[in-house]
Structure 1
Amino acid sequence: MSASFSRRFLPFLAVAACAALTACGSMRSATTSMAGIVKPYKVEVVQGNFVSKEQVNALRPGLTRNQVRDVLGSPLLSSVFHNDRWDYVFTIRRQGVDPQARRLTVFFKGDELDRFEGDEMPSEAEFVASLDSRRKGAKVPELEASEADLKKFPVPAAPPAQAAAPTVPQSYPPLEAPRR
């Protein structure tokens, strides 16, 4: 870059910097007046395992670790130092809704469930209703089919009995080609 070009450009750069600094002071008042109108988007953050009241009600002392895992899922925290303790933690942060945080701790003696303790868990219907902020008070649909609902569908016909089972060959061709 030539020296004459930088001498001409330097005053314009100084004027632009002063204008930018002046604008920063006036922008503070503009942003506070627009803060009620424009809100930034906040990302929904969901962490951990959601455990419902129905799942907690299914826990009974004496269940094996595999049975507890079938009911609750894999624990969020499982420590080598606390081998007989599993922690289920759930947090959710959404825009326009208060943050939720729940925990459940399951204690084992050997391979069997000894006890569990934690926060009061919502039912699945209550949790779904708390997620949808647009429809306050809307009824959550029932997730189970009644006997009357099941009778609406035709019963599949039994497959026809086969006369004879297919014959199994007595010998199979070799898997590898013979060596020469």
Structure 2
Amino acid sequence: MPLTPSFAAVVRLPAAALALVALSACSQMPTLNSITSVSGDKVLGLVRPYRVEVVQGNVLTKELLAQAKPGMSRAQVRDILGSPLLTDVFHDNRWDYVFTIRRQGTEPQRRAVVLWFDGDLLKSVDAPSDLPSEYEFIASIDTARAKGKAPKLELSEEERKALPVPAKQPVETPEPMGVNRSYPPLETQR
């Protein structure tokens, strides 16, 4: 009598071969860290994922921080710099302004400025030495300008002089609206 393979043996052989192929493919897959790294690596070497732009805190520049002077009240400082990101109940003499931004195509940025108060008056400011000016900050986050796609926002002095002077329009006094009526006096004279 010839030996015929059982049904279980026929199913086991392809399943074992499939498991071997799957295990060998795992050595070729990138790790999770390489897929989700911040440097902008492509997923599986094919697609660059969209990264959500995350902006937190208040943007503080050299010009803005120069307006906050020692001796100002908390309300005046809040009007100039905005509300602090962190205030501590246990350290009510300290305000922390922290700013972070992560944009696709630019390096992540983080800055922290600490303001110290004596009662209600600003005592001192601890700011990093590399705090940017307004133009430096805009240049650091402007990906369109780096690609050469930035629109021109201002006219040069020669372009302003070349503009035609607008003609002055005569000012007409508008007619009163509504119906003109005269009413008799409310009180009669005796």
Give TM-score scaled by structure 2 length. 0.59
Greater RCO, 1 or 2 (C-alpha within 8 Å, sep 6+): 1
SS of 2:79 mapped into structure 1: helix
Q: Which residue of 1 aligns with 2:114?
A: 105
Larger radius of gyration: 2
How far the C-alpha of 1:5 sits from its partner, in A, is 8.8
Alpha-carbon distance in 2 for matches of 1:78, 1:72: 14
How far the C-alpha of 1:16 sits from its partner, in A, is 2.2
Which amino acid is 1:116 matched to? Answer: V
User: Which stretch of the first structure deviates more once superposed, 14-23 or 36-45?
Assistant: 36-45
How far the C-alpha of 1:157 sits from its partner, in A, is 10
Q: Gapped runs of 5+ residues in structure 1?
A: 143-150, 161-180
How far the C-alpha of 1:123 sits from its partner, in A, is 2.3
Which amino acid is 1:104 matched to? Answer: V
CA RMSD of aligned residues (A): 4.0
Deviations along 1:82-140, one digit per CA (max 9) or x if unpaired, are 10010101122333322222111111111111111111422222212211123138688
Q: Which residue of 2 aligns with 1:13?
A: 15
Alpha carbons of 1:46 and 1:157: their partners in 2 closer, same or farther (altered >3 Å)? farther
1:133 aligns with 2:143: yes
Deviations along 1:21-63, one digit per CA (max 9) or x if unpaired, are 12223456xx9xx977754444333222211222101111121
Q: How many residues align?
A: 146
Q: Gapped runs of 5+ residues in structure 2?
A: 1-5, 36-42, 155-164, 176-190
Q: Which residue of 2 aligns with 1:25?
A: 27
User: Contact between 1:129 and 1:140, CA under 8 Å: does it hold in 2?
Assistant: no
Deviations along 1:8-30, one digit per CA (max 9) or x if unpaired, are 655443332221112223456xx
Alpha-carbon distance in 2 for matches of 1:158, 1:117: 59
SS of 1:74 mapped into structure 2: coil
Identity of aligned residues (%): 49
